[in-house]
Structure 1
Amino acid sequence: MVEAALQAGTADRACVFELFARRLPEGRRYGVVAGTGRFLDELSRFRFGEPELEWLRAGRIVDDRTIDWLADYRFSGDVRGYAEGEVYLPGSPILVVESSFAEGVLLETLALSVFNYDSAVASAAARMVSAADGRPLAEMGSRRTGERSAVSAARAAWIAGFGATSNLEAGRTWGVPTMGTAAHAFTLLHDTEEDAFRAQVATLGPGTTLLVDTYDVPTAVRTAVEVAGTGLGAVRIDSGDLPSVVAQVRRQLDELGATGTKITVTNDLDEHTIAALRAAPVDAFGVGTSVVSGSGHPAAGMVFKLVARRDGDGAWVSVAKKSAEKATVGGRKAPVRVLADGVATTELVRIGDDDARDGERPLLVPLVTGGVVDERWLGEAGTARAREHRAAAVAELPADALRLSRGEPVLPTVYR
């Protein structure tokens, strides 16, 4: 496309691209935007070096004129978008790229690959946070996704309200709090379960979390308290009929005097199993496969479309697809969240009008201006800001948004 546009003289035509989701995953009531900080970090380093250019040249993928253009590529346009952590609905213009056609169209895969995955994870994680009803969750899914996706998933889950991750790289890169527990392999390494517990407590102290379901749970719980004392930090349960096992372990811990010892559960949890454990004396949850796979929806279904361009006289022209089931809404847009007494009622997307009225919260914020990235959205500080924004945005939603049962989007998207 870039090569053809350069040849046609349209590569520099001013354009507006939007990234949005046509629909939410079936049955979901809202989504959570994640990936903004990662996208901006990638954009600031998005270059074509000599190895890439030589490969394009050797394969005759594009002509020399296009290779020269790519060699000088630096995004110089503007980007606005929903603040990271914001709630989104179908049609929400999550990211708006305003630039020349060639500069903007080149970002499609970069933007979609980041936002589709990160937002899928964050949206699933937000449902789990609601289901946990204030009890902490740890992201533990690195073994269930790609090595780079694991770091992204940990970041997205933390933005959505998880308390920690077992992925240390996410802690190093993005400042996500880290934690972990011993695995069954550590117990099996030792001659006895007691030896394993003593080794762990000797190294990490009695406040550690001991895994108690390698062999017999009641025996392990008794041994754990004998080794660590009644000040044992926590036990972890990773198998069995969790509601009944947890209840039995709680009773046993209390009878042994370890009333302050917490119970953490893992074992293929998702938002529905977490909700089913609300009445059980569970203190914390560790979630793996379900959160890093978007709880059955590993991509958010977002698309990147051209919605406006300037004509030969410099006026903006709305453009849109008309194809069946994939039609788009053209025009430059200004989305707002309509509020009544602090509760969101509507996702209102104004076309060609930037002015918000009373009772409306503007949703687009500047992310890139003239090619310069706003550093407020980068790094640890940007990730922490996204987490805070997510909490505020979800708090605005009607109570129906937090239901796990299948339903329609909690807010209607209205174009005006």
Structure 2
Amino acid sequence: MNTADLGLPVDVPSTALFTDQYELTMLQAALKAGTAGRRSVFEVFTRRLPEGRRYGVVAGTGRVLDAVENFRFDPGLLGFLRQRGIVDETTLEWLGSYRFSGDVWGYPEGEVYFPGSPILRVEGTFAECVLLETVILSILNHDSAIAAAASRMASAAGDRPLIEMGARRTHELAAVAASRAAYVGGFATTSDLAAGFRYGIPTVGTSAHAFTLLHDTERDAFRAQVDTLGRGTTLLVDTYDVTEAVRTAVEVAGPELGAVRIDSGDLLLVAHRVRQQLDELGAAHTKIVVTSDLDEYAIASLAAAPVDAYGVGTQLVTGSGHPTASMVYKLVARAESDDPGAPLVPVAKKSTGGKTSVGGRKWAARRVDAHGVAEAEVVGTGAVPAELADRQLLVELIKGGEVVGREPLDAVRDRHAAARSRLPLSASQLSRGEPVLATEYVQGPSGS
């Protein structure tokens, strides 16, 4: 696996230290106690959606598969652990041959989820599963938060395309992951070339204000850009005076000018004025792109404006106020011994304060009404009710340590659009509200 596919520097081929120290100390203690080999089931879920959100979006699954596949302790990493005295030699020896050999099931990437949805289920020995907690959560929490924000923005934008342009507003590696998640959520293109290289996302970009300021006149800047990129380019028209810039842009490029970009001011008012001016100048087919700290609310407010595309940066890569999906990774079942045939026993945290969990290895299905519109998220243990057998959500992602669920990113993007279209209409509302689907629990018999 090329490390570029992981969003990692070329000198970091392993994901094994994308973890918390307590995972290794738990491993050491379990090895000593003789419980490390017990068959275990961990699940990823969230107890609640971010305040006001109607649904979540599963994103990052493909990156999780790469991370699990590349979770290896090479001699350099083992040397670091030994030097720091983090674990003993017995544990280091065990880590040296670590390869995840279990099974992973999960909601297919791009699917929507709700509180309690078992988004990912990791099965294997306690030792091999517990090590994956942090790397799985760090990917899913980040990417799902970005994808959810992107989905809301795409819903608000309707048929108008969205451009992801937030690379300068976050960590350089997070920017690549954010671009991927935004594409899953419905964005059409990105300005980030690393994301285009690693994930095949279409890339776009023309010029910034600095390019205009570099030249002696705005006309000189426009001429240089058109001469290089062609008449179909997008000219930035708000460096000085917008009205004069639009006039100059059409004079330089002619009515074949591809687009103008507006990056400041009252976007609703300016867009109307620019559209009128372009039409009067004979550039009726020239499009208008708007940027400038947009979020889903600003995009919705421009629905009646003559805008053809939106560029979004800061608000997207920060999850539009919710930079994490608050997912957790919890042990929900384990065997009473390390005998491979030992039955699983449900386990769950029972503390107060809103952090309780539901024990047992779970399935999930989405009940729909007569029109095919989703009406409930059903989560249960034990046997799946016959009427929900063909509505199950979890799919196999890793079998016996081998990745079996990798898929093209465009398929993930299409899945999300389809999943969102099957939700009740209220899912697209930007006003604060409860999850659009309630989660119903179906408890199976003890030992499920």
Q: In the TM superposition, what is the alpha-carbon distance from 1:316 to its structure 2 partner?
A: 1.3
Structure 1 equivalent of residue 229 of structure 2: 204
TM-score (norm 1): 0.98
Structure 2 equivalent of residue 80 of structure 1: 105
Structure 2 equivalent of residue 182 of structure 1: 207
Structure 1 equivalent of residue 297 of structure 2: 272
What is the 5 A alignment of 1:5-404? 5-312=30-337, 314-324=342-352, 325-340=354-369, 341-354=371-384, 357=387, 361-374=391-404, 376-377=406-407, 381=408, 383-404=409-430
What amino acid is the match of 1:113? S
| CA distance 1:359–1:254, shift in 2 (3 Å) | farther
The separation in 1 between residues aligned to 2:432 and 2:377, in whole angstroms, is 20
Q: What runs of 5+ residues in structure 2 fail to find an aligned partner?
A: 1-25, 443-448
Q: In the TM superposition, what is the alpha-carbon distance from 1:256 to its structure 2 partner?
A: 0.3
Matched position secondary structure for 1:279 = coil
What amino acid is the match of 2:119? I
Q: In the TM superposition, what is the alpha-carbon distance from 1:353 to its structure 2 partner?
A: 2.2
TM-score (norm 2): 0.91
Matched position secondary structure for 2:387 = coil
The separation in 2 between residues aligned to 1:408 and 1:355, in whole angstroms, is 27
Deviations 1:118-148 (A, max 9, x none): 0000000000001001100000000011000
Matched position secondary structure for 2:124 = strand
Matched position secondary structure for 2:129 = helix
Q: Please say if 1:414 is aligned against 2:443.
A: no
The separation in 2 between residues aligned to 1:28 and 1:370, in whole angstroms, is 36
Deviations 1:165-199 (A, max 9, x none): 00111111111111113100000011100000000
The answer as to whether partners of 2:65 and 2:406 remain within 8 angstroms in 1 is: no
Q: In the TM superposition, what is the alpha-carbon distance from 1:343 to its structure 2 partner?
A: 0.3
Q: In the TM superposition, what is the alpha-carbon distance from 1:29 to its structure 2 partner?
A: 0.2
The separation in 2 between residues aligned to 1:220 and 1:252, in whole angstroms, is 11
The separation in 2 between residues aligned to 1:323 and 1:355, in whole angstroms, is 30
Matched position secondary structure for 1:37 = helix
What amino acid is the match of 1:118? D
Q: In the TM superposition, what is the alpha-carbon distance from 1:59 to its structure 2 partner?
A: 1.2
Cα RMSD (Å) of the superposition?
A: 1.0
Matched position secondary structure for 2:330 = strand
The answer as to whether partners of 2:62 and 2:406 remain within 8 angstroms in 1 is: no
The separation in 1 between residues aligned to 2:310 and 2:233, in whole angstroms, is 16
Count of aligned residue pairs for this structure pair = 412
| CA distance 1:359–1:235, shift in 2 (3 Å) | farther
Deviations 1:311-331 (A, max 9, x none): 237111000000111000000
The answer as to whether partners of 1:338 and 1:360 remain within 8 angstroms in 2 is: no
Matched position secondary structure for 1:376 = coil
Matched position secondary structure for 2:329 = strand
